Every structure is written in structure tokens, then in C-alpha cells.
């Protein structure tokens, strides 16, 4: 397939096809879902897109006739346009539960779609999420491999949607503006009733200003003029459509009082940079938000490592009322791994303060690695790593394809 970028989700897709009669690949618009399933299954599955108006009308008018014409194994693209088909797909699956991988469904994730999947295909469908490109999936058509401050800033500004890396002539900021407008006008209208889309746009921008920090819902409510309940509902819309990632606080009966507000990150750093009004690499590097953007980049990469392994992401943050904190706590294979990230080339012992405080609060048997992620090279990382604190260079994170490659070394 021309201009197809191989994705880290491919092995999980092939495995899931052998385990379930149906598989659904969800994720934000333009993340590459259609390209993925076509590339992996073009030789074994038929293909039909429900985004085409006449095909969708046929599916809604005569679902059984539609399924007779599009027999499995089949890819049904953009299934959210005809969720009524799910009940009829269930009938076909139940007619022969031993046949695996018969239906491959794709859709931009939203409440209505996943509610239909849960009600109709529970126990019959494997669910995978595809996010925009991970650093390890960078085709280097547009940007070089991410290894240091500048290359990280370039990536954070451009973002990771495949179309931007497939077509170098596109202006990243103009594309991001158009994407956000389309998302709000199409997806948001489908998911919830928003009387004023401009207010929702303002809500997204206010949320961007708090990305990487503790989410203050009262502050967001005051700035946007909507209720706190609306803030919660609208945030759940962004999470469900894979635009944002919410990290809950980590809690394991610690002695110290913990902070209970969630932290919010954007799944794509290009979207976040655009919302913050950043358009140049120097502006990002010299600005006060560079650290938060780098933390957002790392959050997205960690989230992708879980999702691309077909695993439910188990990520948290840790912070006490005494201001001891760790950016990310990753639960993996019975252990809790503490990860801090610093957008600096000058490591300092103070950077490990939160990691050391966390290790004192958690049982030894449950401790995983304690590491700091820096935009440094491998030689510096190796020289600074100790038995207690590992140093992970950005280049290692940018090459990682599995959770194991980061958390077990």
C-alpha cells in the first residue's frame, strides 16, 4: 500500500483476530485505522465503508440484505454511522461462535458506538485503540528521529497524525486548525448536544492551558461559564474520542495525604501546541510551557505503548500534600514503575527527589524501576544510571515498541 506507515498495533491486531469473532479498532479521526486494517487484511477480508452515503442508507434500510452482500470475513469501516448493524452482526456471530476474526470494525470512538458494542457484542469482540503515530513509528518523511531538545520540539509542534507526515507540503498549524474545527463540528455534535460550539472550543483551549498540571475543574468552569458538571461531561467526551488522556492519582494506602485531582494530557502534542498558540521551534524551546509539553509527549508515548500492546493502559501520577511527586506511575506485571521526565540537558540530584520519596512509601516487593527520562544521548544516560535510579534517554523512548522495552531493562 502506497504511503502506508507500519504501525506497532499490527501484532496485537493479528493476535486479537485469532481470539475473537469480531475486532473493533477505535481511535481519533485520521489516526490511520483504515490504512492499518487494509494493510494487514487486504488479502483475507472484503472491505466496505459506511461513510459512503448510499452504502450507509442501504445498511440502515435493509441490514440483513447488506450483510448478505458483504459476507465475512469483512472489514466494515466507520461502523459508527450504522450502529444498528451491530445487533445483526451478533446474530451471524452466534450462528457460528467458533469462527474467529470474521468481522473487523473501525470507528472513531464515541459514547454511542461503544455503548452499542458493549450491548450487542459483549464477549464477542476484541477492542483495540489506535492513536496517532508513536515516536517509534516516525517514517522520517517530514521529521528526523526524535533524539534531543530540538527534534522533540519539532515533533511536539507538528504533531503525530499520519497525514502530516505523509504529505510534507501541508502546513502543520493550518491542518491542526482544520482538524479541530472538523472534530468539534462533526464528532461533538454526534456525541452530545452543545448549544454553542464556540463555548466548547473555548473549553478545549482552557483545558489545554492546564495540560500536564492538576486539573482545576472550578477554574475551568469559571473561565468558560459552564457548570462543573458540564466540565466533567465535556472532558469525558474528549477522553472517549481519544483526544485527551486523563491520569488519576496513584493510591496505595500511603501515610501522607495525597492530591486527588486528575491530570489531563492531550493525545497529540501538535494539537496541544496549536491550542497554546505555539508555531515555532524557538518559541517552544524558550517558552515556560516546554516542560509541560515534554511531559505531555512522554505521557502520550507511554499510553501508546500500552495501547499498541493491546493492553489497557495502567498509568497514574503520584503527588502528596507535601509536594513530593512523580510524573508517571506505570503498573506492569505486578510492579509499580516510577517515571519522572525533565526537559533539560543538565541532570540534577534534585530531579530524583520524588522517585526516592515514592520508593519509601511503597512495599519493596511492589517496586519496579525508578527512572528519569531526559532528552539526552545514550552515553550520558549510561554514565548517570545507577542501581537505584535509571536514566532513559529520549532516543530509547523514541525507539520503544513495547511496554517491556521501557519498564524492564
- Examine the domain organization and report whether 179 and 281 are in the same domain: yes
CA-based radius of gyration for the chain = 22
pLDDT digits (tens, 9 = 90+) for 101-130: 999 999 876 656 777 777 788 889 999 999
Give the pLDDT band of residue 79 (cuts 50, 70, 90). Answer: very high
Average pLDDT over residues 335-345: 93
Give me the pLDDT at residue 255, please.
58
Give me the pLDDT at residue 112, please.
62
List of long-range contacts for 55-60, beta carbons under 8 Å, 24+ apart? 56/81, 56/82, 59/84, 59/85, 60/84
Q: Is residue 386 part of a domain?
A: yes
Give the pLDDT band of residue 1 (cuts 50, 70, 90). Answer: low
Residues 6+ apart with CB under 8 A from 106: 24, 25, 26, 33, 34, 37, 75, 76, 77, 78, 79
The answer to whether 371 and 339 are in contact (CB under 8 A) is yes
Average pLDDT over residues 364-373: 92
Average pLDDT over residues 274-294: 93
- Examine the domain organization and report whether 223 and 283 are in the same domain: yes
- pLDDT of 299 > 80? The answer is yes
Give me the pLDDT at residue 195, please.
67
Cis-peptide, bond into residue 73, ω within 30° of zero: yes
Q: Phi first, then psi: what are they for 103, rounded to 5°? A: -125, 125
DSSP symbols for 189-230: HHHS--S-HHHHHHHHHHHHHTTTSB--HHHHHHHHT--HHH
Give, in order, the Cα–Cα distances in Å from 350 to each of 109, 200, 214, 317.
Answer: 41, 40, 21, 18
**Cell triple for residue 284?**
517552544
pLDDT digits (tens, 9 = 90+) for 17-65: 999 999 999 999 899 999 999 999 988 999 999 999 999 999 999 999 9
User: Which has more pLDDT, 401 or 192?
Assistant: 401
- In angstroms, the CA 91 to CA 177 distance is 42
In 3D, which of 317, 321, 322, 351 has the Cα closest to residue 337? Answer: 317
Q: Which of 99, 129, 159 is the last residue of a domain?
A: 129
Q: Which of 3-12, 255-264, 294-303 has the lowest mean pLDDT?
A: 255-264
Give, in order, the Cα–Cα distances in Å from 234 to each of 28, 197, 270, 271.
Answer: 16, 12, 21, 17
- Examine the domain organization and report whether 336 and 322 are in the same domain: yes
Q: Is residue 173 part of a domain?
A: yes
Q: Is residue 2 part of a domain?
A: no
Give the pLDDT band of residue 408 (cuts 50, 70, 90). Answer: confident
- pLDDT of 406 > 70? The answer is yes
- Examine the domain organization and report whether 380 and 234 are in the same domain: yes
Residues 6+ apart with CB under 8 A from 302: 313, 315, 328, 330, 339, 406
Domain count, the chain: 2
Scanning 18-71, the segments in alpha helix (DSSP H) are 33-41, 53-61, 63-69
End-to-end CA distance of the chain: 35
Average pLDDT over residues 369-380: 86
What domain range includes position 327? 135-407
pLDDT digits (tens, 9 = 90+) for 316-328: 999 988 889 999 9
Give, in order, the Cα–Cα distances in Å from 196 to each of 156, 199, 226, 241.
Answer: 30, 5, 11, 19
- In angstroms, the CA 382 to CA 384 distance is 6
Torsion of CA 49, 51, 52, 53, to 10 degrees: 140
- Examine the domain organization and report whether 119 and 166 are in the same domain: no
Q: Is residue 265 part of a domain?
A: yes
| Mean pLDDT over the full length of the chain | 90
DSSP 148: S
- Examine the domain organization and report whether 225 and 359 are in the same domain: yes
Give me the pLDDT at residue 207, please.
95
- Examine the domain organization and report whether 343 and 379 are in the same domain: yes
Q: Phi first, then psi: what are they for 278, rounded to 5°? A: -95, 135
Q: Which of 100, 129, 158 is the last residue of a domain?
A: 129
Amino acid at each position: 500500500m502506497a504511503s502506508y506507515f507500519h504501525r506497532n498495533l499490527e501484532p496485537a491486531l493479528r493476535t486479537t483476530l485469532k481470539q475473537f469473532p469480531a475486532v473493533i479498532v477505535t481511535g481519533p479521526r485520521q489516526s490511520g485505522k483504515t490504512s492499518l486494517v487494509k494493510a494487514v487484511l487486504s488479502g483475507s477480508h472484503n472491505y466496505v465503508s459506511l461513510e459512503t452515503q448510499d452504502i450507509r442508507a442501504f445498511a440502515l434500510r435493509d441490514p440483513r440484505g447488506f450483510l448478505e452482500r458483504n459476507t465475512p470475513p469483512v472489514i466494515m469501516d466507520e461502523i459508527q454511522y450504522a450502529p444498528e448493524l451491530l445487533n445483526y452482526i451478533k446474530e451471524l456471530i452466534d450462528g457460528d461462535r467458533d469462527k474467529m476474526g470474521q468481522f473487523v470494525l473501525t470507528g472513531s470512538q464515541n459514547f454511542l458506538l461503544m455503548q452499542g458494542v458493549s450491548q450487542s457484542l459483549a464477549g464477542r469482540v476484541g477492542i483495540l485503540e489506535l492513536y496517532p503515530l508513536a515516536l517509534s513509528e516516525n517514517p522520517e518523511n517530514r521529521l528526523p528521529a526524535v533524539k534531543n531538545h530540538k527534534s522533540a520540539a519539532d515533533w511536539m509542534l507538528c504533531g503525530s497524525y499520519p497525514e502530516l507526515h505523509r504529505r510534507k507540503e501541508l502546513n502543520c498549524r493550518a491542518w491542526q486548525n482544520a482538524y479541530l474545527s472538523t472534530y468539534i463540528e462533526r464528532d461533538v455534535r454526534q456525541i452530545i448536544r452543545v448549544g454553542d460550539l464556540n463555548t466548547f472550543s473555548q473549553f478545549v483551549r482552557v483545558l489545554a492551558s492546564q495540560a500536564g498540571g492538576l486539573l482545576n475543574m472550578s477554574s475551568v468552569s469559571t473561565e468558560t461559564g459552564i457548570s462543573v458538571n458540564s466540565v466533567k461531561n465535556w472532558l469525558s467526551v474528549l477522553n472517549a474520542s481519544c483526544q485527551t488522556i486523563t491520569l488519576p492519582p496513584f493510591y496505595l494506602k500511603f501515610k501522607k495525604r495525597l492530591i486527588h485531582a486528575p491530570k489531563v494530557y492531550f493525545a497529540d502534542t501538535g494539537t496541544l501546541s496549536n491550542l497554546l498558540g505555539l508555531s515555532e521551534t524557538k518559541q517552544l524551546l524558550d517558552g515556560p510551557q516546554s516542560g509541560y509539553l515534554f511531559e505531555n509527549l512522554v505521557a502520550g508515548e507511554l499510553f501508546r505503548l500500552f495501547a499498541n500492546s493491546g493492553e489497557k493502559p495502567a498509568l497514574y501520577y503520584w503527588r502528596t500534600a507535601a509536594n513530593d511527586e512523580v510524573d508517571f506511575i506505570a503498573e506492569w506485571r505486578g510492579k509499580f514503575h516510577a517515571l519522572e521526565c525533565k526537559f533539560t540537558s543538565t541532570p540534577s540530584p534534585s530531579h530524583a527527589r520524588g522517585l526516592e520519596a515514592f520508593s519509601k512509601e511503597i512495599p519493596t516487593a511492589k517496586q519496579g524501576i525508578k527512572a528519569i527520562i531526559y532528552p539526552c544521548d545514550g552515553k550520558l544516560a549510561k554514565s548517570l544510571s545507577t542501581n537505584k535510579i535509571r536514566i532513559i534517554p529520549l532516543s530509547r523512548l523514541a525507539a520503544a515498541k513495547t511496554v517491556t522495552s521501557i519498564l524492564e531493562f
